[in-house]
Structure 1
Amino acid sequence: MEPLAKYFALSLPQSVNAQEWLENELNGGKVPLYNLKVPDFQIGTLDSLVQESEELGKLDSQLAGSVAKIVEILESVTETSSARSVQGRDVLDYLENFNWNSSKYRLGKSIIDLVRLISNEALTLDGDVRAAYQSYQNAKSNFLAADRKRNGDLSIKSLHEIVKPEHFVLDSENLTSVLVAVPKNLVKEFKDSYETITQFVIPRSAIEVAHDQEYFLYSVTLFKKYEQDFINQAREQKWHPRTDFVYSEENLNNLRKEFDLSKATEVKSKNDLIRLTKTAYSEIFAALIHIKVIRVYVESVLRYGLPPQFDYYLVKFDRQNLKNFTKAKKELLAKFGYLGGHGFSNNQSLHEYASLVDTEYEPFVLYEINIV
């Protein structure tokens, strides 16, 4: 799915004075630039930051996948692209004017505690969405089955709105009535032979109950002793005995209720899912950005050292200039690649060391944010 927008989350040492160049030179000064507000966190030891860095990378990817799945579910259920909202604000506005939620995630906590708190809430909500989606899929499947019974042809559809008491022999010890759906091209053959395909079929007992474009539905009366033999012979003739239908008022009432109940269940589970996915998008996206901010901070400390003196930016690419995304990244690497040492210099060749370099590793702190 094409993103609504893409961003670079970028961290650079204050000493490089990057803002003027980013505003005026990056992509010819044609990409919007925002300051990303990253608070100072309780750092702990550098060893703990290294461990957190790896965990943050996995969690970042997991939450981004969760957000994408929620959007996929929401669009499949609503069949439309609705405006993305995060905590009552447009999603782009939320990101571009991000403020750390200090009332929910107190900055006095350690980074590991913040990560655990944010991730547990988000992943629990992700599980709730997946369970609700499965529940909706089951309800939808049940409704479609009921709908096929209601709107299919006479060989498969529910007959509760079609049959009437006069189409059956009721309360007889010896006689029974069998419903048979006969293809239109076999009606004449049926009328000529139904009385003789087995013993003790009541002559001239076939009653036309209904017909559609494909079938005529008949009720045939015979002795109960020969019911199964009649059914077997009817199938041999390529008729369709409706053995799934037994006439009783209780059955009829249950069948009448089935469609309405399955429809009501499908509608309720769908509405519940839509409400939950909208809430989940808001909360999990907010969690994702909080994790992204922690990740930018942790990686900045590991890359640039202490004390934390970094500038943080968001570089925006909307749908009109997504084509400039790769070009801008190359310009950033050309301008700030020296921060990663000679291995990232345009004038240096990695030669035999190339395989040792992480191809996803950037010479400065740079992460992508896709808004879907």
Structure 2
Amino acid sequence: MATRYWAVSLPVGQTSSLWSRLQESISKSSFDTPLYRFNIPNLRVGTLDSLLALSDDLLKSNNFIEGVSHKIRRQIEDLERVSGVVSSSLTVDGVPVDSYLTRFVWDEAKYPTVSPLREIVDGIHVQVSKIEDDLKVRVAEYNNVRSQLNAINRKQAGSLAVRDLSSLVKPNDVITSEHLTTLIAIVPKYSQKDWISSYETLTTYVVPRSSKKLHEDNEYALYTVTLFSRDADNFRTKARERNFQIRDFEYNPETQESRRQELEKLNQDQDALRSSLLQWCYTSYGEVFSSWMHFCAVRVFTESILRYGLPPSFLSVVLSPSVKSEKKVRSILEELCNSSNRHSSFVDMNMNFKNSAKSLAFPYQICQNSRQL
């Protein structure tokens, strides 16, 4: 499900009732189309050459800002899915994203209207670039901990031939003395009967009935066997000839405790980093979206001046026609432009907001912002 918003600029011409006429036309012919004022302040125009140069760069900058907003949104989706967090609407300055757009107010303190348009656009680009760089660092730190945990989990979840055996072999399963040692044998499941019948005779110094089965997975069974230490190497060789694998294993309580603490710390670090990253993403998404809307306002202003000329005299609005109403709404806009003494076309910037069916946390997502002149 998607909600498309159009940011539209129409020339005012000699009439001052364009807003009322637009409201009336939309209400009569496309009553299901929400319509809002897009309040753009009187920005500093500068020279024609500066406007033309800025116009050439606006699309590239827009794609960059849009891309960063999508990166943050996708990261939020991933983190919420992993965390099992009940999603809530993304906000900008404390209000839902769609409300911020449809009730947009220019932030004079952050973007003084007396500043050149190029300075405003460059400032937005720098700010969003810093947020993107910070995102990369934070995600890399989080993914590094995840990778370490995944590596440990793979060892724990792999087959007995390769996995860590420390959680399967207990202290009382192992005998270590001056003359005796316990070996760990990995036996194919189909060869277990062969192991039971042959392990005592593989070499001379095996303790009778000393083999004990500790664990079994889909492929292998884990057995212990006790024998004289001097015969251990010979037993390994004979076992290998019968397709039995002898795993090197030494039970060390200090090592086991160290591994347990390491795993616990990694889990704690992952949870802390995930929570911190998620909160940062919530905040940063709002900052990027706010910057993006100010950028869109500059873009509409610039294109309107280049299209309609000076002094600035245009009506900028945001509307959201349904797919079946788009043709009719466009016809209404063209008709209003044709009634003007100045121009017969309008500046149109399409912005698609995607409504996620899986999560209410992202009711609106800008997918496209392109001008159609």
Query: Fold-level match, TM-score > 0.5?
Result: yes
**Native 8 Å contact 1:22 1:29 kept in 2:** no
Match of 1:98 in 2: 104
Matched, 1:14 2:12: yes
CA contact (8 A) 1:162 1:209 kept: no
- Structure 1 gap ranges (5+): 346-362
String of CA shifts for 1:280-333, please: whole Å, max 9, x gaps: 11000001001000011011111111111111100024xxx4x33643564256
Alpha-carbon distance change, 8 to 234 in structure 1, aligned in 2, over 3 angstroms? farther
Give the TM-score, by structure 1 length.
0.81
The aligned counterpart of 1:350 is: none
**Which of 109, 114, 120 is the matching residue for 1:108?**
114
1:367 aligns with 2:367: no
Alignment correspondent of 1:312: 316
The residue correspondences of 1:347-362 to structure 2 (distance < 5 A) are none
Cα offsets for 1:207-234 (capped at 9, x unmatched): 3252245443222345667656655654
Q: Which moved more, 1:158-167 or 1:113-122?
A: 158-167
Cα 1:216–1:33 shift into 2, 3 Å: same
1:191 aligns with 2:173: no
Please state how far the C-alpha of 1:151 moved relative to its aligned partner. Answer: 5.1
Task: Give the aligned partner of residue 78 of structure 2.
Answer: 76
Give the distance between the partners of 1:43 and 1:10, measured in 2 at CA. 19
Q: What is the alpha-carbon distance in structure 1 between the residues aligned to residue 339 and residue 195 of structure 2?
A: 88
Q: Does 1:281 align with 2:285?
A: yes
Instruction: Output the TM-score relative to the length of structure 2.
Output: 0.80
Quote the residue 1:179 is aligned against. Answer: 184
- Relative distance call for 1:205 and 1:46 in structure 2 (3 A) is farther
Equivalent residue of 2:208, what SS? coil
The 5-angstrom pairing of residues 75-224 of structure 1 reads: 75-79=77-81, 81-150=87-156, 154-170=160-176, 172=178, 176-197=181-202, 199=203, 202-204=206-208, 206-208=210-212, 210-214=214-218, 215-222=220-227
Cα distance in 1 between the residues matched to 2:177 and 2:337: 91
* Distance change >3 Å, CA 231–CA 276, structure 1 → 2: farther
The separation in 2 between residues aligned to 1:192 and 1:55, in whole angstroms, is 80
- Deviation per residue, 1:181-201 (Å, 9 max, x gap): 32333211112233455x565
- The structure-2 alpha-carbon separation of the partners of 1:204 and 1:332, relative to structure 1 and needing over 3 Å to count, comes to farther
Q: How far did residue 270 of structure 1 move?
A: 1.2
CA RMSD of aligned residues (A): 3.1
- Residue pair 2:187, 2:195 contacting (<8 A) in 1 also: yes
Aligned ranges 1:247-326 → 2 under 5 Å: 247-317=251-321, 321=322, 323-324=323-324, 326=326
Partner amino acid, structure 1, of 2:311: P
Residues 222 and 312 from structure 1, CA distance in 2 versus in 1: closer, same or farther, beyond 3 angstroms? Answer: same
Task: Label 1:13 to 1:235 Cα distance change in 2 as closer, same or farther (>3 A).
Answer: farther
| Native 8 Å contact 1:206 1:218 kept in 2 | no
Instruction: Count how many residue pairs are aligned between Structure 1 and Structure 2.
Output: 344
Distance 1:179 1:167 in 2: 10
- The sequence identity of aligned pairs, in percent, is 29
Question: What whole-Å deviation, never above 9, does each CA across 1:94-124 have from its counterpart, x for those lacking one?
Answer: 1111111111122222111111211111121
Q: 1:334 to 1:35 in 2, by over 3 A?
A: closer
